Amino acid sequence: MKKKYALITGSGRGIGARTAEVLAENGFGTALCARTQRELSETTERISGQYGTPVLGLVCDVSDDSAVKEMVGKAQDWADGVDVLVNCAGIAGPLALFEDADPDEWRNVFDINFFGTVHCARAILPAMKKQGHGKIINFTGGGAGGKHHPERQTAYVTSKVAVCGFTETLATEVEGDNIQVNALSPGPVETKIWDNVLTAEERRDLKAKEADLSPEAAAQLVAFLASERSGKLTGKVLSARWDTPDGLARDINGLNKSCRNTLRRIDGNNYHAQKDT
């Protein structure tokens, strides 16, 4: 049986790095992509030394479509086919009220968070279709779900909601090609982005409320979605905080048929049931 390979963007540090490690723990060969060589080298060396699985480091800015095509091509040649794409690259962007935010900073957030995801998916889809299978996992995040939208983060939140819409629509388009596309929100995780968008007081409050601010749950959920255990689950927006691999595995077919874990949470039956009560 051919070894499985995953390409993970934004994997030089934080959630992306831990995701790459967990995939390596599960036997995947991993192609890591990041913007800076130093962090990329540290992570690839750690994976190679600790897990002994094939690992490749690729420097790339995912906002650059041409660079992404070249990067994906190198990963595919090295792996002789990539089975899983994990779009984890992202930035927080301007921390300001909407009317005060620089439009160029807004565009930069979309170039990386949204179009970076789009570029990578577009570059890898032809090969996934040719090989007859594939899984694409897109990271969404703060404000795309949950009860509260963060203040002063309109660019970040909007870009992540766009990733959800892209995920659901693309999943429908490629379902017939045996390609599954899902998104996941990692929940509160102590990363560099987290440090950039929260004040010291907000960080203290969050630490007091949350028992676990590590990327472990998100990385384990990615490993589940990348595995055969996730079956044909597709078109869903999942939460690492609330959706566990065991819980999802129990009812994949039922979840696929429902509007749960999507942006379109209200179907006709639910709407009329709520309206009549």
Residue 67 — pLDDT band, cuts 50, 70, 90? very high
The pLDDT value given to residue 267? 54
Annotated catalytic residue, options 5, 51, 156, 271: 156
Q: Which amino acid is at 81?
A: G
The predicted-structure confidence for 145-201, as pLDDT tens digits, reads as follows: 655 666 778 898 899 999 999 999 999 999 999 999 999 988 755 555 555 555 555
Match domain 5-275 to its CATH number in 3.40.50.720, 3.90.870.10, 3.40.50.880, 1.25.40.10.
Answer: 3.40.50.720
Burial 155-177 (b: 16+ CB within 10 A, else e): bbbbbbbbbbbbbbebbeebeee
**Token pair belonging to 199:** 């004040």
Residue 119 — pLDDT band, cuts 50, 70, 90? very high
Query: What totals of helices (H) and strands (E) does the chain contain, helices first?
Result: 12, 7
- For the chain, the farthest-separated pair of C-alpha atoms sits apart, in whole angstroms, at 61
Measured distance CA(189)–CA(203) in Å, rounded? 11
Measured distance CA(9)–CA(20) in Å, rounded? 9
Indicate whether 79 pLDDT > 70: yes
**Token pair belonging to 211:** 């028992």
DSSP bridge partners of 14: none
The pLDDT value given to residue 277? 47
Residue 271 appears among annotated catalytic residues:
no
**Region 237-264 average pLDDT:** 88
Q: Which amino acid is at 51?
A: Y
The pLDDT value given to residue 190? 52
Round the average pLDDT of the chain to a whole number and report it. Answer: 87
Model-wide pTM > 0.95 = no
User: Using an 8 Å Cβ cutoff, are 27 and 4 in contact?
Assistant: yes
**Token pair belonging to 42:** 């540290």
**pLDDT over 90 for what percent of the chain?**
65
User: Using an 8 Å Cβ cutoff, are 116 and 9 in contact?
Assistant: yes
